[in-house]
């Protein structure tokens, strides 16, 4: 949770209709310009005696959510402290009260207060078992984000990724902060490239159980695994349409890789691209009108964009020889991707037309596989900066890098969708 | 490596199975022999001719089994040879080197000599780069090998290609040595 993160910002401007590139590179080492809101956090009052919390008490979960969100600066205080909050300009603070009920459940009353007046801005209570406190706190925290920012938070979202267990890559998923981890596959063959189906109740991934890379779907409720698009011998690189749930994926046929578009049920598919080169790593624009992909038509991998019908192909990346695995931000304005230079992988973002390139990671091992949080504020990625590959989260400007997995080898994170439709503001019309 | 061993084991059991089923091997069932010795007491003259026929049959079967055993050993050696014949590539390239062509010519000769072999060509990459792009690269490498063998006269029906991308390294590690050994195509062999 380093507040100061050194980011080298490279501006790369492309002039003239002939694509004659004139690059002006400005290197900027400085503090993030991300706006954060100070937020007071006070431990919960334990009404009938101390409680044996799991990993952490509820206010610590809120602190962690606030730090990870990239939206807040936590002003921690043991009790309400107007002086401390005023000094830190924390106009609001969160706290709560916990009560153990007779049936062993906990009643968590959570509050967001205005510091100056101690006026209650918002309150919510949850009746949960002690092991579900995290879930309740994430829900409350997202309500706080919505009250204070008017935007949806991501504390209740999930991440899926690939973890090596006993030497075999398996698909696992967890809360976005890495807690409450569950294993989606337990196979003797490699499982990889997980992505979330719309609704977050299914994971689409690649399994080598038939000794070939083939797309499968795992239903997280019924636990059933089923092969999809069975007419393709080798399929991988799935990308889910954010509107319709259709799946774009790569198929290898006669040594050449092409993009196919399949229905959400995993049955029918049709070829989308008829290019001479190989195409992979498809990604949808937020409204699913355009598709990013990687093509090797120029020799090495470069990122291109085309309409969703395969028309109007334009190249996006021109700097460097290896640009891959593009991800379109949910807000639509930026594209994150992985670039390899001197054998090291780093994460960059650029505008949707390829201009305004910003390097987000540098001098910290390999950094790859960026995936956007549904609010577009954060990017999760895999890095071997501390030796083994682990999952990290950073803000969209590369600041506030937080490690969320600690052990083993963890790669290829994919952020889930929002779980439910957006909440309606209780203050609607009053503003 | 594990899968290779499995395939080898599979191929061996298959051969043993064929050896066992047709014709039946000599030393399968000791019970009939015991019966024969019991008969000997009653009719010795008949037994002599029977024993001679039995000996001849046993001898023929032993020879057949030996031949099968030799055949099995030869096939096993060939399979071992094929599975250890890795074709190496340059970084982010899929063209065959001169060395690779020489090796593939030997592989082609072996496949011509033993028509029963069906091979799967696996394409692999080193650990650098993304999973997705390396899958496409592995696919291209496997295809290049298959194309060479088709041009060498091997029927394309006998060959299947599969890409493992960077998922199945031969050597773990992040050294140039490990990388160069992992940028490869190798064979899995089945017997028709």
Q: In this predicted structure, what is the pLDDT of residue A331?
A: 94
Residue numbers in A near B146 (CB within 8 A):
255
Residue B188: its chain A contacts at CB < 8 A? 211
> Burial, A84: exposed, middle or buried (Cβ in 10 Å; 0-12, 13-18, 19+)?
middle
Q: Quick one: closest CA in A to B168, which residue?
A: A190
Position B10 confidence tier, pLDDT thresholds 50, 70, 90: very low
Higher pLDDT, A130 or B26: A130
Beta-carbon separation of A234 and B162 below 8 A: yes
Q: Higher pLDDT residue, A375 or B18? A: A375
User: What pLDDT score does B6 carry?
Assistant: 53
Residue A343 touches chain B, beta carbons under 8 Å: yes
Q: Are A169 and A162 in contact (CB under 8 A)?
A: yes
- Please check whether residue A236 touches B, CB under 8 A: yes
Q: Which two tokens mark A36?
A: 């954060």
Cα three-residue angle A353-A355-A358, rounded to 5 degrees: 125
* Listed residue (B85, B81, B75, B171) closest to B122, CA to CA: B85
Cβ contact A351:A335 at 8 Å: yes
* Chain A residue closest in CA terms to B126: A343
CB contact under 8 A, B162 and A212: yes
Q: How many CB atoms lie within 10 A of CB A361?
A: 27
ipTM metric = 0.87
pLDDT of residue B51: 86
Q: Domains of chain A (ranges plus CATH)?
A: 37-149 (3.40.50.10070), 158-415 (2.120.10.30)
Could A211 and B120 be called an inter-chain contact, meaning their C-beta atoms sit closer than 8 Å? yes
Contact with chain A for residue B3, Cβ under 8 A: yes
- How many of the other CB atoms lie within 10 Å of CB of A334? 21
- Facing A368 at nearest CB: one of B130, B162, B188: B130
* B159-165/B117-124 β-pairing: parallel
The pLDDT of residue B173 is: 86
Residues in B 24-63 with any Cβ partner in A closer than 8 A: none
Query: Where would I find the H helices in chain B?
Result: 2-21, 31-40, 44-84, 98-113, 131-151, 176-182
Whether residue A99 contacts residue A106, with contact meaning beta carbons closer than 8 Å, is answered with yes
At B127 the pLDDT is 93
Chain A residues inside the 8 Å CB shell of B163? 213, 234, 252
Buried b (16+ CB within 10 A) or exposed e, A407-425: eebbbbbbbbbbeeeeeee
Distance from C-alpha of A220 to C-alpha of A194, rounded to nearest angstrom:
13
Full pLDDT tens readout for chain A, 431 residues: 343 343 433 333 333 333 333 333 443 444 556 689 999 999 999 998 888 888 899 999 999 999 999 999 999 999 999 999 999 999 999 999 999 998 989 999 999 999 999 999 999 999 999 999 999 999 999 999 999 999 999 999 999 999 999 999 999 999 999 999 999 999 999 999 999 999 999 999 999 999 999 999 999 999 999 999 999 999 999 999 999 999 999 999 999 999 999 999 999 999 998 888 999 999 999 999 999 999 998 889 999 999 999 889 999 999 999 999 999 999 999 999 999 998 899 999 999 999 999 999 999 999 999 999 999 999 999 999 999 999 999 999 999 999 999 999 999 999 999 987 655 544 444 33
Query: What CA–CA distance (Å, rounded) separates A250 from A284?
Result: 14
Please count the helices (runs of H) and the strands (runs of E) in chain A: 3, 30
Best residue of B92, B128, B131, B161 to probe chain A, by most A CBs closer than 10 Å: B131
- B129 contacts in chain A (CB < 8 Å): 301, 322, 324, 340, 345
Helix B2-21 × helix B44-84 angle, to 10° = 160
Mean pLDDT value of segment B132-155? 96
DSSP secondary structure string for all residues of B36-87? HHHHHTT-HHHHHHHHHHHHHHHHHHHHHHHHHHHHHHHHHHHHHHHHH-PE
Please write the tens of the pLDDT for every residue from B144-182: 999 999 999 999 999 999 999 999 999 998 899 999 999
CB contact under 8 A, A257 and B135: yes
């Amino acid at each position: 949770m380093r507040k100061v993160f050194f980011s080298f910002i490279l501006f790369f401007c492309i002039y003239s209709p002939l694509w004659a590139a004139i690059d002006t590179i400005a290197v900027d080492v400085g503090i993030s310009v991300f706006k954060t809101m100070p937020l007071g956090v006070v431990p919960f009052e334990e009404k009938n005696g101390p409680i044996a919390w799991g990993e952490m008490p509820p206010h610590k979960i809120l602190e962690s959510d606030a730090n990870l969100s990239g939206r807040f600066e936590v002003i921690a205080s043991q009790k309400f402290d107007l002086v401390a909050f005023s000094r830190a300009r924390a106009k609001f603070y969160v706290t709560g009260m916990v009560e153990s009920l007779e049936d062993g459940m906990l009643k968590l009353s959570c509050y967001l207060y205005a510091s100056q007046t101690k006026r209650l801005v918002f309150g919510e209570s949850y009746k949960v078992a002690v092991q579900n406190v995290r879930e309740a706190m994430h829900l409350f925290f997202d309500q706080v984000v919505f009250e204070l920012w008017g935007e949806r938070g991501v504390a209740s979202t999930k991440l899926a990724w690939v973890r090596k267990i006993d030497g075999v890559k398996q698909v696992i998923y967890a809360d976005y902060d890495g807690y409450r981890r569950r294993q989606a596959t337990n196979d003797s063959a490699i499982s990889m490239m997980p992505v979330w189906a719309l609704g977050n109740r299914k994971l689409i991934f690649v399994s080598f159980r038939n000794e070939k890379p083939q797309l499968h779907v795992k239903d997280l409720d019924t636990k059933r695994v089923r092969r999809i698009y069975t007419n393709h011998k080798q399929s991988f690189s799935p990308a889910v349409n954010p509107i319709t749930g259709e799946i774009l994926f790569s198929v290898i046929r006669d040594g050449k890789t092409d993009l196919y578009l399949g229905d959400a049920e995993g049955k029918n598919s049709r070829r989308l691209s008829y290019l001479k080169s190989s195409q992979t790593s498809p990604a949808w624009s937020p409204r699913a009108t355009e598709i990013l992909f990687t093509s090797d038509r120029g020799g090495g991998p470069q990122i291109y964009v085309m309409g969703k019908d395969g028309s109007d192909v334009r190249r996006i990346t021109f700097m460097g020889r290896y640009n891959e695995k593009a991800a379109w931000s949910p807000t639509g304005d930026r594209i994150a991707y992985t670039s390899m230079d001197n054998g090291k992988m780093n994460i960059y973002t650029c505008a949707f037309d390829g201009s305004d390139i910003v390097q987000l990671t540098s001098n910290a091992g390999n950094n790859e596989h960026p995936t956007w949080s549904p609010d577009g504020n954060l990017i999760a990625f895999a890095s071997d900066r501390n030796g083994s590959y682990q999952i990290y989260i950073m803000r969209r400007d590369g600041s506030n890098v937080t490690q969320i997995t600690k052990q083993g080898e963890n790669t290829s994170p994919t952020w889930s969708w929002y779980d439910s439709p957006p909440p309606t503001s209780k203050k609607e019309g009053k503003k | 490596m594990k899968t290779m061993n499995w395939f080898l084991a599979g191929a061996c059991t298959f051969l043993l199975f064929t050896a066992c089923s047709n014709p039946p091997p000599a030393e399968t069932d000791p019970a009939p022999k015991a019966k024969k010795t019991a008969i000997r007491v009653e009719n010795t003259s008949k037994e002599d001719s029977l024993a001679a026929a039995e000996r001849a049959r046993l001898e023929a079967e032993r020879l057949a089994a030996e031949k099968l055993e030799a055949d099995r050993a030869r096939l096993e050696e060939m399979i071992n040879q094929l599975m250890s014949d890795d074709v190496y590539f340059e970084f982010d390239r899929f063209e065959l080197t001169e060395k690779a062509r020489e090796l593939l010519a030997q592989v082609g000769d072996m496949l011509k000599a033993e028509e029963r072999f069906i091979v799967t060509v696996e394409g692999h990459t080193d650990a650098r780069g993304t999973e997705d792009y390396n899958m496409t690269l592995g696919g291209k490498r496997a295809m290049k090998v298959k194309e060479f063998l088709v041009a060498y006269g091997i029927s394309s029906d006998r060959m299947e290609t599969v890409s493992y991308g960077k998922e199945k390294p031969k050597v773990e590690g992040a050294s140039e040595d490990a990388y160069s050994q992992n940028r490869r195509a190798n064979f899995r062999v089945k017997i028709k």
